Structure 1
Amino acid sequence: MAAVASGRWRGRIAGAWRRLRNGGGAFAQGIAANFAAERDRHPLWLVVALGAGIGLYFALAEEPALWTGPAVLMGLVVAFSLWQGHGAAWLLAVPITMALGFSAASLRTHLIDAPILDAPLGRTVVTGTIAGMAGGETAERILIAPEAIANHPDRPLPRLVRITLRGEAGTLWPGQRVRIKASLEAPRGPVAPGAFDFARWSFFQGIGASGYALADPEILPAGNEGGWMATAESAIAAWRLGIARRIRDALPGSKGAIAAALFAGDRSFIPQEDLDALRDSSLAHMLSISGMHMAMVGAAMFGLVRALIAAIPYLALRIAAKKWAALAGLLATSLYLVLSGAATPTIRSYVMIALMFGAILADRPAISMRVVALSALIVLSLWPESLLDPSFQMSYAAVIALVAAFEKAKQSQLGQWTAERGFLISMVLYVGGIALTSLVAGLATAPFAGFHFGRYASYGLIANLTAMPVASLLVMPFGMAALALMPLGLEEWALVPASWGIALTLAIAHEVASWPGAAILVPAWPIGALIAVTLGGLWLCVWRGVWRLWSAPLIALIFFTSFVHRGPDLLIEGEGRNLALRTREGELLLAFARPSFSAEQWLRLAGDGRLPGEARGKKGDPLSCYKEACIGTLEGETRNWRLAWAGDRASLAEACATADILVTPLRAVHCEGPAHIFDAARLARDGATALWLRGDRILINTANAERGKRPWSRAPSIQ
């Protein structure tokens, strides 16, 4: 009987295996059939592979040798040439493109090689030429190309130094030589492991030091430093600044500040309450000169020139109106690019719009996934660091989703229904187009907004549906007219009507932002979840067959992760001057109420909308502070940990005797009591630090461990 039963089970297992194998074979055949049916979409994935190679480069713990990428690339090309007659040789296209992306990123870093200040300078004098200017609501910042920095002898000078002035810039202009007393330090790293690395961003901008002015700048006689290129850049920057100031003079207050942002790329002096309202209503994208503004300018010029040609029968019968209009649109967007300051996000938008006009000139579809892929290929090849930029991720997520929706609508009956339409249908389509665009773009950018900024705008569809017609029909046309009238001194004639649209847009933003639940705060989730959602979104948008719905599990992962992911139990600032403790209920408690960038970002990463002052621990909480000392309790699953922060020598001596975990901005010499000590020396080496309680153990991760030994992560020495 046992032998018979054993035989039955073996038969059942063998049958199940045959069914599984046959089913697996059918499944594989289905994948192969779907893959072959969409052969024309295969090249689009090579851009994804290029981005994967760039991402691999930035994920390395140490800077690779410059020859690493080209060597791998050469080996793959040789393998491809040897296997060229083999049917599977095409599979090497993906690793070859990844190697190209890796090599491009490595070469870009090597070419930048911007020196970074290696030690803080508490009091120094910077002499150089103003390369750029920007401002905030209360102070302005200048970028200086330094000629000399006092107390910094025999060391490479940073290419650019960013200095916050004590007040308004007054008579300062780009291109002027200045001498200024300032306090400088290297650009700061992430506020927590895995957070945005401002030092990396600064490195690729050429900024090697930042600080604040100790006195008003002294204007020096002009020199010949920098050559013709620097002179041209300074002249363009001065031209832009002059336009921005004339706009603000004509329109005082927030309307003028927003007009300067829209028409000159200068976001200085926009009141914080307006910025908050625009952000929480999902209208903040209107402030940055991006694809929307480029498209408006290009489309307006395209439509105007085409209409003028059509109105002149002699021209309409003899020239290709559409192509001449495309040339005019390309010229208009090129001028707008220069006027905006040609920042990298604006260049990305310009590349995409320019390719669309180029497609019209080449008699190709202007809106297609290939145009988007080609623009991404150009941008990532020239500026590989853009891959890590939130604006790149959000803009391309929106554009890819919109193009996919456009392609789907074009295939449907909607295209036939709109072939012959009257005024009423045109208006319905216009409003419906804005609604669909806002909905699709909002859904596509939501994961990135949540990851980078920790918030979603709940009523973005309503805000954009009401504000976008105002921007496209009133603000932008009159704004462009104001720029055209500015040489005649008549810009105010057009700026006043534009200000009406800006005022209405601000009213919409403040109204929508005041609604309950306008901004949904979410805690940060792991980068792996964002990568999975990105791949899922690409799978959904790039493929056209039913199998694109297989992306659902990857996209759903972001919702699952947001519920199960728990942030650190303790966060320590990179200088040891503040810390944040997570209670058993999941709430963050700050050691100090003083507003600091780190404290604000910690709360944002936790999905906490409180201000630092509201999140400070009080007496009776698991964390409380008095004078130069803090005591707290980290409540673990199996034990509690005594936490202490010491700001002076007296409290440090006491903490060394009583604490399990010690945090101090001082050097903790001869302190042997605590199990974990985070003092000035350790934090200078490791940067911002995060701790997780796991039973009787503590898991530690640091910002510098995440960053690795890279050109932008050179730790400054301790003074």
Structure 2
Amino acid sequence: MGDTKLRGKEQVRTAFLDVLLAQRGGLIGWVPVCLGIGIGTYFSLSQEPNQAIMVGVWLLAITLLWISRWVHPALAPVVVGCSLFLAGAGIAQWRTARVAEPVLSFRYYGPIEGRVVNIDRSASDAARLTLDNVVLARMSPARTPERVRVSVHGDQVIHSYQPDETLILTGHLSPPAGPAEPGGFDFQRHAWFLGLGAVGYTRTPVLRLAAPSDPTLAMRVFATRMKLSSFVQAAIPGEAGAFAAAIMTGDRSAMRQETLANLRAANLAHLLAISGLHMGLLTGFIFALVRYGLALSATISLRYQTKKIAAVCALVVGAFYLALSGGNVATERAFIMVAVMLVAVLLDRRALTLRAVAMAAIIVLLWQPEALTGPGFQMSFAATTALVVVFGALRRFDMSRWPKWLRAVFSVVLSSFVAGLATAPFAAAHFNQVAHFGLIANLLSVPLMGVLVMPAAVLAICLAPLGLSGVGFALMSVGLRWILWVAETVSGWDGAVGHIVAPGPWVLSLLAMGLLWGVLWQGKLRFAGVALVICAFVSWSQVTRPHLLISDSGALIGVLGPEGRALSKPTGDSFVARIWLENDGAVSDQEIAAGRPGYQREGRVVRVQVGEWTVLQVSGKTALAELDGCDGADVIVSNQKEVTDWPCIVFDIDQLRRTGALALDINERGDLVVTTAQEVTGVRPWNAGAELAGGQIILTQENKKGRQSDP
């Protein structure tokens, strides 16, 4: 009997090792996965690990890497994977410390001086300036943020500001805001990695204090980019010119919000961002132009490797495009992917393989680990991976008998469908909407980008020294106006956009792991990835939204009712209101949401019932002073500083600044559970005042009865 059990264990062990050995040959794809899991684990921590812990993490990672040389060959990749997991966490922590800059810890109003390092436009269509070398009144340089971003309201013309010039203005600044609700998008972390220590606005004139003097190379490139943007917009008037400037230079400051909304609704917003599509079309066009141009000369084509010459030319043009476009994260990521593929051509390897995609992902994660949490990284690599897998599988089918035009049409339709399908869950999770007619819009627009718009842009730049750039811009204008017309038409169709409820915290991680497992695992166990994907979608479908949300300003509350979320006021805190409604998956105007039933208004006091619990939201000093104690409420929320010792739970403005936004729900026992945004985000370097983080508060029925019986 004992021998039988021993043989059975040996068989199981042998089968397990055989399964691991079968993964040889595709292990490179697991490197970015292991790094990504480590990076994601670091960002999900509720408390920043100290230096002693991180030193231990690095020592353990190195030790595991050394041990992998001595273990069974089948187990070595597992040990290396654990080492990469720890290394991913260490790299993310190192990057967090490396970009550390002072963050404003209070609300500031006064003079602001700084140098222009970026110009764009806010969601409210206001000109927005990013300034460095910042000087604030009565603030030491050690406490002054390195960079601030200021929205300029009023009639000031955005193109009157020049790169590298020093401006002075009077404005409001505040620390980067936390999530609009617990578990929501963390703008504080996003701003930390952008180097933004404060954001704000001004309604007063912006004055020039000093002209540019001895600019750095980066500032010269920025100035060239803005001059080219103005040149393009002068050559192509209207929205088409703004579109052209955006795809050629990355300058979106002239794009109207209505145009952006149309592009998003038609799933064409990716044409606006300089990402993989633009970089791929440009470098692909240059590669083909150089290669076929050199092929016209028999002497050159026979003596030189024209394919590699074309790859080098495309790489150089891609690098120039990266620098000219401002080098944002999406463009950097696209250039890395294109560069990996062109280097593969130089090394006589297949350009478009999972190995090339994995190498690009590894470079991005090592360089900017924070990119993992953003929609750009997730969507671009999801689309690229899906395209490589699908078109790799198609190589097994013989389509040589198909007419060339049919093969071209099939490739365009299939690539648009596959890329759209691969990115749809991530787009829905981050933007809470799905473009139902996106495939149609992309089929009508993407081919034109490749055959007309990008070649015309290259032609315009080449002819500019001769004064003939208008020829290229005229052709480019035709293509862009068609795309804008498609976006406007498709977005206007009934049911063009569907709204999706925000997923739970682990849905995207589970979904990504399931898809990656199905792609990378060798053998029948790859179908386990399907089970993970199904679990992710089931979990997503079961998500419940908070019954009551409270903004960190204390000025807005939203209660979930049968008609949707009812907001306490029709204007003000519009950004937070929009985020709440989008996350509910039921977008509507704030004014409409304010007219829904779900609360009682008594002057400047709003009364809400959450189960058996009463919540009062009090706006203004006068309303707070006139309140008769707790007025029968269990929780009071105020946008003022409360000094009275009341028996109920009070969240005044000071407390809300420490806790962040609140979510109130009822548990199965009927207790009131108050979740704070600070509890979810934790104590991290990017939290201003994080040492005062608030935790979850539970008001039990026993507490309620005790207060009711207290005379």
Kindly state the Cα deviation for residue 483 of structure 1 after the two structures are TM-superposed.
2.5
Alignment of 1:511-522 (within 5 A): 511-522=489-500
Change (3 A) 1:269 1:35: same
Aligned to 1:44: 29
Change (3 A) 1:171 1:80: closer
Aligned to 1:125, the other structure's residue is in SS state strand
Post-superposition Cα deviations, 1:561-591, rounded to whole Å, max 9, x if no partner, equal 23321011111111111111112x3721111
Post-superposition Cα deviations, 1:545-573, rounded to whole Å, max 9, x if no partner, equal 44322211211123322332101111111
Aligned to 2:630, the other structure's residue is in SS state helix
Aligned to 2:685: 711
One-letter amino acid matched to 2:423: T
Maintained 8 Å contact 1:263/1:479: yes
Alignment of 1:132-531 (within 5 A): 132-136=118-122, 138-153=125-140, 155-166=142-153, 167-222=156-211, 231-410=216-395, 412-413=396-397, 416-418=398-400, 425-531=403-509
Kindly state the Cα deviation for residue 232 of structure 1 after the two structures are TM-superposed.
1.6
Aligned to 2:94: 107
One-letter amino acid matched to 2:527: L
Post-superposition Cα deviations, 1:243-293, rounded to whole Å, max 9, x if no partner, equal 111212222221111111111111123222221221111111000000000
Unpaired segments ≥5 residues, structure 1:
1-13
Q: How well do the aligned residues superpose, as a CA RMSD in angstroms?
A: 2.4
Maintained 8 Å contact 1:133/1:141: yes
One-letter amino acid matched to 2:656: L
Whether 1:589 and 2:566 are equivalent positions in the alignment is yes
Change (3 A) 1:216 1:552: same
Query: Which of 530, 534, 538 pairs up with 2:516?
Result: 538
Aligned to 1:40, the other structure's residue is in SS state coil
Post-superposition Cα deviations, 1:659-679, rounded to whole Å, max 9, x if no partner, equal 2222111122225243x3221
Query: Which of 648, 651, 654 pairs up with 1:681?
Result: 654
- Distance in structure 1 (CA, Å) of the matches to 2:40 and 2:371: 10
Change (3 A) 1:549 1:83: closer
Q: Which moved more, 1:91-100 or 1:376-385?
A: 91-100
Query: Which of 622, 627, 633 pairs up with 2:598?
Result: 622
- Distance in structure 2 (CA, Å) of the matches to 1:276 and 1:79: 50
Aligned to 2:473, the other structure's residue is in SS state helix
Aligned to 1:551: 529
Aligned to 2:403, the other structure's residue is in SS state helix
Change (3 A) 1:76 1:268: closer
Change (3 A) 1:517 1:65: same
Aligned to 1:581, the other structure's residue is in SS state strand
Aligned to 1:713, the other structure's residue is in SS state coil
- Distance in structure 2 (CA, Å) of the matches to 1:516 and 1:28: 58
Kindly state the Cα deviation for residue 717 of structure 1 after the two structures are TM-superposed.
12
- Distance in structure 1 (CA, Å) of the matches to 2:33 and 2:591: 44
Change (3 A) 1:31 1:470: farther
Maintained 8 Å contact 1:260/1:266: yes
Aligned to 1:10: none
Post-superposition Cα deviations, 1:19-50, rounded to whole Å, max 9, x if no partner, equal 9x97x998887665444333111232121110
Whether 1:645 and 2:617 are equivalent positions in the alignment is yes
One-letter amino acid matched to 2:189: R
One-letter amino acid matched to 2:674: I
Maintained 8 Å contact 1:120/1:716: no
Give me the TM-score of the superposition, normalised by structure 2. Answer: 0.91
Q: Which moved more, 1:268-277 or 1:180-189?
A: 268-277
Maintained 8 Å contact 1:159/1:207: yes
Aligned to 1:317, the other structure's residue is in SS state helix
Aligned to 2:71: 86
One-letter amino acid matched to 2:317: A
Post-superposition Cα deviations, 1:678-716, rounded to whole Å, max 9, x if no partner, equal 211221111111111114212222211122111111139
Maintained 8 Å contact 2:48/2:683: yes
Aligned to 2:701: none
Change (3 A) 1:431 1:626: farther
Whether 1:691 and 2:664 are equivalent positions in the alignment is yes
Maintained 8 Å contact 2:134/2:147: no
Aligned to 2:132, the other structure's residue is in SS state strand
Maintained 8 Å contact 2:125/2:256: no
Identity percentage of aligned residues = 31
- Distance in structure 2 (CA, Å) of the matches to 1:711 and 1:487: 50
Post-superposition Cα deviations, 1:222-250, rounded to whole Å, max 9, x if no partner, equal 476xxx7x622111111111111121222
Give me the TM-score of the superposition, normalised by structure 1. Answer: 0.90
Change (3 A) 1:250 1:664: same
Q: Which moved more, 1:77-86 or 1:462-471?
A: 77-86
Aligned to 1:700: 674
Maintained 8 Å contact 2:606/2:617: yes
One-letter amino acid matched to 2:399: W
One-letter amino acid matched to 1:156: R
Q: Which moved more, 1:505-514 or 1:311-320?
A: 505-514
Kindly state the Cα deviation for residue 645 of structure 1 after the two structures are TM-superposed.
1.0
Maintained 8 Å contact 1:691/1:701: yes
Maintained 8 Å contact 2:507/2:537: no
Change (3 A) 1:551 1:27: farther
Maintained 8 Å contact 2:125/2:257: no
Unpaired segments ≥5 residues, structure 2:
693-711
Change (3 A) 1:31 1:449: farther
- Distance in structure 1 (CA, Å) of the matches to 2:192 and 2:126: 23
Change (3 A) 1:290 1:172: same
Change (3 A) 1:151 1:627: farther
Post-superposition Cα deviations, 1:45-100, rounded to whole Å, max 9, x if no partner, equal 12111011111111112222245334223234335535643314443211210121
Post-superposition Cα deviations, 1:631-662, rounded to whole Å, max 9, x if no partner, equal 2222x3xxx32221101234322472222222
Change (3 A) 1:394 1:30: farther
Maintained 8 Å contact 1:146/1:157: no
Change (3 A) 1:453 1:655: farther
Change (3 A) 1:544 1:261: farther
Maintained 8 Å contact 1:434/1:464: no
- Distance in structure 1 (CA, Å) of the matches to 2:353 and 2:359: 10
Aligned to 1:527, the other structure's residue is in SS state coil
- Distance in structure 1 (CA, Å) of the matches to 2:650 and 2:300: 80
One-letter amino acid matched to 2:365: L
Q: Which moved more, 1:480-489 or 1:347-356?
A: 480-489
One-letter amino acid matched to 1:597: F
Aligned to 1:329, the other structure's residue is in SS state helix
Post-superposition Cα deviations, 1:326-360, rounded to whole Å, max 9, x if no partner, equal 01111111111111111111101100000100000
Maintained 8 Å contact 2:64/2:83: no
